Amino acid sequence: MAVTFVRKEMLPQQPPPSSQVGPVRWVRENLLSSPLNIFLTLAAIYVIYVIIDHVGPWLMNSVWNAGSLAECRQILAGESGACFAVINDRWRQLLYGFYPSDMYWRPNLAMVLLLVAVAPVLFDKLPRKMIWFSAVYPFIAFWLLWGGSLWLPLAVIAGFAIGYAVFRGLSPMTNGALAVIAGALAALIWWFVAAAAVSDVLQSVIPLGIAAVPSREFGGFMLSIIIGVTGIALSLPLGIMLALGRKSDMPLIKMICVGFIEFIRGVPLITLLFTASLLLNYFLPPGTNFDIILRVIIMVTLFAAAYMAEVIRGGLAALPRGQYEAADALGLDYWKAQRLIIMPQALKISIPGIVNTFIGLFKDTTLVVFIGLLDPIGLSNAIRADSNWNGIYWELFIFIGACFFIFCFGMSRYSMYLERRLKTDHR
């Protein structure tokens, strides 16, 4: 008679072998899975060790309080160490340039308001009414940064109101395009003929304003951010228009757009900046004071817009033909089709490329150093020209690099968030 064994209860679960769990498994799988992998791991450890061995003591010995490089060296007494005292001494200059120090609150406030203004654009969970603040923000920022009469930005806003009023007044009588053109003309006439005079008169009647700060006192990261943010904000709509123009059936518009894009893409940014700073001086009548920062912003925007147009054209080309036909079949006109069907999809596809262009533009702002504007890189040069800090390199560059990294990394993370949120395919 055979003894049968029937297990009545489950065996208690054993813990997995130690080589198959936790960090050990991770290390085995990722670092030591093959001879080549082992070799690469060892090599990487060695490289990291060398870097830490060289940079570690240098960073650990950082001197934060000293009046000059010589003092730093005295404090270090021959040991290797970073002299971050230069940042301590000059961080205001690196951030604000030569902006009057008692008015730092103005760029600070402008920066805080910028965050408020971009929030509704970036995140759709916020109340939609906030977008009105975003629309007014450019004028607030301009007034805060450059100061002067409050009436000037108000007069410029009035131009939009006048243009809109003319458009609304005419649109029942004539067709839409004519009303748009008339509205734009009215606004332009107001801006170029009346706005400055009216704001002067108003200023003399009711003086409202804060101390004006001339452009040449702008510098440092403030300058980079002004040029970068303005360029980013303007180049996207301009790029969309150019991309649509390039795909347009109207030969004149198509030719203009293609010519513009190819010309701008064909010349380096530095050439455009030199044009802005040097050639325009010869063309303009002597004595006219066409603001240098404005010139740079225009050039940077045009440059980025040309690249943006091509990025968006890529997105348009990736859309299946059926989408265009579907829009037509629904009876949508051109603009409605673009706004409701084509652009939302094309822009979604283009997000990585668009953000790429944004980041490139922001970093390209450092090129203004070549036309004598003191951006952070230019200021690092100027700071080195002071006898106290001559001979200091890494500390300044590390600081500047870290600041740029924060902005660029932020943009890149946001674009990934946006891609995840807009993901509609079901992979």
Partner 1 sequence: MKKSVFLGTLSLTALVAGFASAATLDDVKARGTLNCGVSTGVNGFSAPDSNGVWQGFDVAICRAVAAAVLGDPMKVNFITTTGQTRFSALASGEIDMLARNTTWTFSRDTDLKFTFAGVNYYDGQGFMVKKELGVSSAKELDGATVCIQTGTTTELNLADYFKSNNMKYEPVPIETNAEAQQQYLAGACDVYTTDASGLAATRATFADAENHIVLPEIISKEPLGPLVRQGDDQWADIARWTLNALIAAEEYGVTSANIEELAKGTENPEINRLLGTEGELGAMIGLDKDWAKRAIKAGGNYGEIFAATIGEATPIGLARGLNAQWTQGGLMYSPPFR
* Residues of this chain that bind partner 1 (CB under 8 A): 69-70, 73, 89-90, 93, 97-98, 101, 142, 146, 148-149, 152, 191-192, 195-196, 200, 212, 214-216, 274, 277-278, 281-291, 293-294, 369-374, 378, 381-387, 390-391, 393
User: Tokens at residue 300, please?
Assistant: 């940077």
- Which residues, in sequence order, are CB contacts of 342 under 8 Å at separation 6+? 316, 319, 323, 324, 327
Closer residue to partner 1 (CB): 99 or 404: 99
Count the alpha carbons within 13 Å of 369 in the hemisphere toward its beta carbon.
14
Beta strands in 150-261 (DSSP E): 209-210
- Please give the Cα distance from 94 to 77 (Å, whole number): 28
- The least CB distance from residue 177 to partner 1, in Å, is 24
Report CA-CA distances (Å) from 305 to 151, 226, 299: 31, 17, 10
- Please give the Cα distance from 228 to 367 (Å, whole number): 12
- Please give the Cα distance from 418 to 359 (Å, whole number): 16
- The least CB distance from residue 159 to partner 1, in Å, is 11
- The least CB distance from residue 34 to partner 1, in Å, is 39
Closer residue to partner 1 (CB): 70 or 111: 70
**Which amino acid belongs to residue 197?**
A
Closer residue to partner 1 (CB): 233 or 374: 374
- The least CB distance from residue 222 to partner 1, in Å, is 13
- The least CB distance from residue 100 to partner 1, in Å, is 9
Closer residue to partner 1 (CB): 96 or 307: 96
Closer residue to partner 1 (CB): 98 or 160: 98
- Please give the Cα distance from 379 to 396 (Å, whole number): 10
- The least CB distance from residue 302 to partner 1, in Å, is 14
Closer residue to partner 1 (CB): 262 or 291: 291
- Identify whether the C-beta of residue 99 lies closer than 8 Å to the C-beta of residue 218: yes
- The least CB distance from residue 176 to partner 1, in Å, is 27
φ, ψ for residue 339, nearest 5 deg: -70, -40
Closer residue to partner 1 (CB): 147 or 314: 147
- The least CB distance from residue 78 to partner 1, in Å, is 9
- Identify whether the C-beta of residue 263 lies closer than 8 Å to the C-beta of residue 335: no
Closer residue to partner 1 (CB): 23 or 287: 287
- Please give the Cα distance from 384 to 91 (Å, whole number): 14
Sign (positive or negative) of CA dihedral 260, 190, 295, 284: positive
Helix (H, G, I), strand (E, B) or coil at 210: strand
